[in-house]
């Protein structure tokens, strides 16, 4: 996935998660933000701060489900 496609997907998924806040939409947004952070290690400090804040807010809104999924993914890796 190139950076332009990631940026477009991130915007689309954010709008979708806001309009229909389902668990699946929030989870996709959580993964896209994490991917953006991984692909942009040299991004502006302010941009990374915004992304980390958004990641924290989405994780909080996912509740216990996010932690269960993370644990499952770690054990699968």
Taking all residues of the chain, what is their mean pLDDT, rounded to a whole number?
Answer: 80
In Å, how far from its chain's centre is CA 43?
16
Predicted pLDDT of residue 77: 54
Q: Which residues of the chain have pLDDT under 50?
A: none
Maximal CA-CA distance, the chain:
33
pTM of model > 0.85: no
Which of 40, 31, 33 minimizes the C-alpha distance to 73? Answer: 31
Q: How far apart are CA 9 and CA 28, in angstroms?
A: 10
Predicted pLDDT of residue 75: 67
């Amino acid at each position: 996935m190139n950076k332009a496609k990631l940026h477009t997907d991130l915007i689309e998924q954010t709008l979708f998660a806001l309009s229909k806040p389902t668990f699946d939409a929030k989870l996709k947004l959580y993964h896209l933000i994490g991917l953006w952070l991984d692909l942009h290690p040299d991004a502006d400090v302010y941009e990374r701060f915004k992304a980390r804040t958004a990641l924290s807010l989405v994780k909080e809104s996912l509740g216990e489900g996010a932690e269960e999924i993370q644990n499952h993914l770690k054990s699968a890796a």
